[in-house]
């Protein structure tokens, strides 16, 4: 039995140790001092029994040194004495010890986290209040103010109070139209009518009913067909005619005819022909619209150009 064992001493404390022959070259730990060393290939001391570690020797070991600490590493073989002979066991890999879970009572939980809980409640409440107020202001306060300014919500039995300034502007337009229609060649009357239209168009948003569309149409007709070339403005006439047609949902043949003249004056005869045909479709028996359709057809057939001055 002793021929198959290796006898050696600890390099740190000199304690005699022994182990089986197949353990040669392995890392071992001294059971007395915990020093880690390599088992020699052959015996370095005469074979003898290894004394047991007494309690007094264990008490004399350096502080913090034991059979599983000190120089020992995971996987090292620890030599320990049992019944006077050395045996082996492998050290398990060290793992971090998980702290034991502590169950907090409600009072402990509240004492520890009450600042965060109260702060969170205040923040959530402030955000909820701000969101609700913003929604209420957008859907009720602001909307009610806008509707009130635009005249919504008035009782039907209360007639709208006419604006004296709007009434005066409309009266000026009526007078200027009647005078200019009686003498269309008069430059002064035409300029007076153009000035009346300009004043009314500045307040066109406050003029209600079909009167607004009529002012837009008449101003567009004057700016696109007047014989006084210095007063013509095809671009502005086209915008005014389009607004009048939109307000009447393209159901007024006269307004469509004005739009056709504005398109022709702007150098767009093909579009003018289409609008003239649209106007003629509303009144198929109207001789004036038939003549205008033939006129725009001739202009569109000969290329872009302006209709002859009347």
**Is the pLDDT higher at 166 or at 85?**
166
Q: Does residue 309 form part of some domain? A: no
84 lies in the same domain as 193: no
Q: Are residues 181 and 73 in the same domain?
A: no
Q: Which of 90, 113, 135 is the last residue of a domain?
A: 90
Confidence grade of residue 68 (pLDDT, cut at 50, 70, 90): very low
Which residues form the domain of 47? 2-90
Residue 113 lies in a domain: no
pLDDT given at position 185? 86
Q: What is the pLDDT of residue 75?
A: 45
Which range, 2-11, 162-171, 210-219, is most confident? 210-219
Mean pLDDT of the chain, nearest integer: 76
Q: In a 3-state reduction of DSSP, which class is residue 53?
A: coil
Strands of 40-181 (E only): list them: 77-82, 85-90
Rounded Cα distance, 262 and 266, in Å: 6
Query: At which of 45, 66, 90 does a domain end?
Result: 90
Asked if residue 112 is part of any domain, the answer here is no
* pLDDT(2) > 80: no
DSSP string for 271-310: HHHHHHHHHHHH-TT-HHHHHHHHHHHHHHHT-S-PPPP-
Percentage of the chain lying above the pLDDT 70 cut: 72
CA 242 to the chain's CA centroid: 37
Q: Give residue-wise pLDDT tens across range 260-300.
A: 999 999 999 999 899 999 999 999 998 998 898 888 888 87
Contact 249, 277 (CB under 8 A): no
- Distance (Å, rounded) from C-alpha 95 to C-alpha 99? 12
Kindly tell me if the per-residue pLDDT of 63 is higher than 70.
no
More confident residue, 34 or 150: 34
Q: What is the mean pLDDT of residues 65-91?
A: 43
Q: Which residues of 158-167 are buried (b: 16+ CB within 10 A; e: fewer)?
A: eeeeeeeebe
* Two structure tokens written together for 239: 């915008």
pTM: 0.47
Structural domains in the chain (count): 2
Strand 77-82 relative to strand 27-29, pairing: parallel
Share of the chain above pLDDT 90, in %: 21
**For residues 238-266, average pLDDT:** 91
Check whether 128 has a pLDDT greater than 90: yes
Task: Decide if pLDDT at 74 tops 90.
Answer: no
- Give the tens place of pLDDT for each residue, 189-241: 889 989 998 988 888 888 877 888 999 999 999 999 888 888 889 999 999 99
Considering the domain architecture, whether residues 283 and 173 belong to the same structural domain is answered as: yes
Residues 82 and 171 in one domain: no
Same-domain status, 170 and 287: yes
In the prediction, which pLDDT does 238 show?
92
Q: Label residue 242 by pLDDT band (50, 70, 90).
A: very high
How far is Cα 264 from Cα 245, in angstroms, rounded to an integer? 16
Please indicate, yes or no, if residue 172 is contained in any of the structural domains. Answer: yes
pLDDT of residue 310: 39
**pLDDT at residue number 127:** 93
Q: With 80 as the cut, is the pLDDT of residue 79 above it?
A: no
pLDDT the model gives residue 155: 52
Asked if residue 1 has pLDDT above 70, the reply is no
- 274 contacts 258 by C-beta, under 8 angstroms: no
Tell me the CATH number at 258.
1.25.40.10
Spatial contact of 220 and 237, defined as CB atoms under 8 Å apart: yes
Predicted pLDDT at 47: 53
Alpha-carbon distance of 67 to 77, in angstroms, equals: 10
Q: How far apart are CA 216 and CA 24, in angstroms?
A: 113
Whose tokens are 């502590």? That residue is 102
Residue 216 lies in a domain: yes
CA distance 1 to 47: 11
Q: Is there a domain that residue 153 lies in? A: no
Among 55-64, 106-115, 116-125, the least confident range? 55-64
- Residue that finishes a domain, picked among 36, 71, 90: 90
* pLDDT over 70 (residue 32): yes
Please check whether residue 174 lies inside any domain of the structure.
yes
Residue 17 phi/psi, 5-degree rounding, is -135, 160
């Amino acid at each position: 039995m002793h021929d198959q064992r290796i006898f050696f001493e600890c390099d740190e404390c000199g304690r005699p140790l022994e182990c089986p022959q197949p353990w040669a070259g392995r890392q071992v730990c001294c059971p007395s001092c915990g020093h880690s060393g390599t088992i020699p290939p052959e015996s370095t001391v005469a074979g003898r029994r290894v004394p047991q570690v007494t309690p007094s020797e264990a008490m004399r070991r350096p502080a913090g040194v034991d059979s599983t600490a000190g120089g020992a590493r995971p996987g090292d073989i620890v030599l320990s004495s049992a019944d006077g002979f050395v045996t082996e066991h492998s050290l398990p890999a060290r793992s971090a010890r998980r702290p034991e879970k502590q169950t907090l009572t409600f009072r402990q939980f509240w004492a520890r986290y009450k600042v965060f809980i109260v702060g969170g409640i205040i923040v959530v409440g402030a955000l909820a209040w701000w969101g609700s107020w913003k929604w209420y202001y957008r859907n009720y306060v602001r909307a009610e103010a806008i509707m009130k300014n635009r005249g919504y919500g008035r009782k039907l039995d209360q007639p709208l109070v006419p604006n004296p300034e709007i009434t005066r502007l409309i009266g000026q337009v009526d007078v200027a139209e009647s005078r200019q229609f009686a003498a269309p060649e008069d430059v002064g009357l035409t300029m007076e009518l153009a000035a009346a239209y300009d004043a009314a168009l500045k307040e066109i948003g406050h003029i209600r009913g079909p009167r607004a569309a009529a002012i837009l149409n008449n101003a567009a007709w004057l700016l696109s067909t007047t014989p006084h070339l210095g007063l013509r403005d095809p671009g502005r006439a086209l915008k005014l005619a389009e607004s009048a047609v939109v307000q009447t949902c393209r159901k007024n043949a006269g307004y469509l005819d004005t739009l056709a003249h504005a398109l022709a004056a702007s150098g767009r005869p093909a579009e003018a022909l289409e609008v003239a045909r649209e106007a003629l479709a509303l009144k198929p028996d109207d001789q004036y619209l038939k003549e205008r359709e033939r006129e725009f057809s001739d202009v569109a057939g000969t290329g872009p150009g302006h209709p002859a001055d009347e």
